[in-house]
Amino acid sequence: MGKLRAAGLVSARRSSADARDAYYTVDLGRFGELLAQAGRAVHPGLRLAPAPPLVPAAPAGRTAARLLFLCTGNSARSQIAEALAVARSAGRVEAHSAGSRPKPVHPNVVRVLRERGIEVGSRQPKHLSTFAAHRFGYVITLCDKVREVCPEFPGHPGCIHWSIPDPAASGGDDDATLPAFRDTARTGSAKSAPTAGPGPSWTAPGPPPSGLSSAPPSRWPAR
């Protein structure tokens, strides 16, 4: 683990809800780059084939997978994750977002999504109780604090936790926090990549896509 962290392939951060917990993140993109370099070193003809950025839209009559992204304020992380999931899935995903203590959507959310060609219009924050009676395939918490208070949802959806820092808490005005929001968008894009690829695992509760963690019955996963 020490060598992986020293090489920048694995990073760690303490939970904002309980500093005794640590979350580890694997940089799959960097792993892919190194694998490609190793292949070229073995033989010039060995290379990784790039995955298509989007999959075809969901066939007629097929219900799109339903995802719910949660963070504390529903003002930054979960809004970005929702927009990325919808934009990248080509109709395979119906995404929503909410928070335990909603507050106005941060202006930098609109800025970083627009940089990625995603127009979100006028978004309003929502309390997680808005979806208390809704069924989802997966409920994804992006905030360590909301993970601790997340309620049970009908139908026993798959539970996934992404520990992502609050970009608005990086300090300063909107221009000063913009780099942190860009980092959040990059992280959200990398983690939501499975929504853009084929696979039925997003359509119903069960083992999540490769690279994600499903929750054991009594506890949400550390991710």
Q: Is 91 exposed, middle or buried (0-12, 13-18, 19+ CB in 10 A)?
A: middle
In sequence order, which residues have a C-beta less than 8 Å from that of residue 204 and are 6 or more positions away? 65, 137
Tokens linked to 187: 């992280």
Identify whether the C-beta of residue 196 lies closer than 8 Å to the C-beta of residue 188: no
Smallest CA-to-CA distance from 188 within 107, 82, 101, 110 is with 82
Q: Which of 146, 150, 159, 160 is catalytic?
A: 150
How far is 58 from 55, CA to CA, in rounded Å? Answer: 9
Same domain? 99 vs 150: yes
Residue type, 52: P
In a domain, 216, yes or no: no
How confident is the model at residue 117, as a pLDDT? 93
In a domain, 86, yes or no: yes
Three-class DSSP category at 98: strand
In a domain, 56, yes or no: no
How far is 215 from 222, CA to CA, in rounded Å? Answer: 9
In a domain, 49, yes or no: no
Same domain? 85 vs 13: no
In a domain, 73, yes or no: yes
Active site residue 143: yes
Domain limits at 32? 2-42
Same domain? 90 vs 175: yes
Q: Cα–chain-centroid distance for residue 20? A: 23
Smallest CA-to-CA distance from 177 within 186, 185, 169, 165 is with 169
In a domain, 222, yes or no: no
Q: Which of 67, 68, 70, 71 is catalytic?
A: 71
pLDDT per residue of the chain (223 residues) written in tens, 0 to 9 = 888 888 888 887 787 777 777 777 777 778 788 888 888 888 887 776 665 544 445 555 567 789 999 999 999 999 999 999 999 887 788 999 999 999 999 999 999 999 999 998 888 999 999 999 999 999 999 999 999 999 999 999 999 999 899 999 988 899 999 999 999 999 888 887 655 543 333 333 344 443 344 333 333 444 4
Active site residue 159: no
When divided into structural domains, the chain yields a total of 2
pTM for this model (two decimals): 0.71
Residues pairing with 138 in the sheet:
67, 158
What is the domain-level CATH number for residue 98? 3.40.50.2300
Same domain? 89 vs 25: no
Structure confidence by residue, pLDDT tens digits, 68-86: 999 999 999 999 999 999 9
Structure confidence by residue, pLDDT tens digits, 165-201: 999 998 889 999 999 999 999 988 888 765 554 333 3
Same domain? 126 vs 187: yes
Same domain? 35 vs 70: no
Same domain? 88 vs 187: yes
Same domain? 179 vs 130: yes
In sequence order, which residues have a C-beta less than 8 Å from that of residue 60 and are 6 or more positions away? none
Same domain? 135 vs 179: yes
Same domain? 7 vs 81: no
Same domain? 99 vs 177: yes
* CB neighbourhood size of 101 (10 A): 15
In a domain, 127, yes or no: yes
In a domain, 120, yes or no: yes
Q: Which of 143, 160, 178, 193 is catalytic?
A: 143
Residues pairing with 99 in the sheet:
71, 127
Same domain? 22 vs 87: no
How far is 104 from 168, CA to CA, in rounded Å? Answer: 12
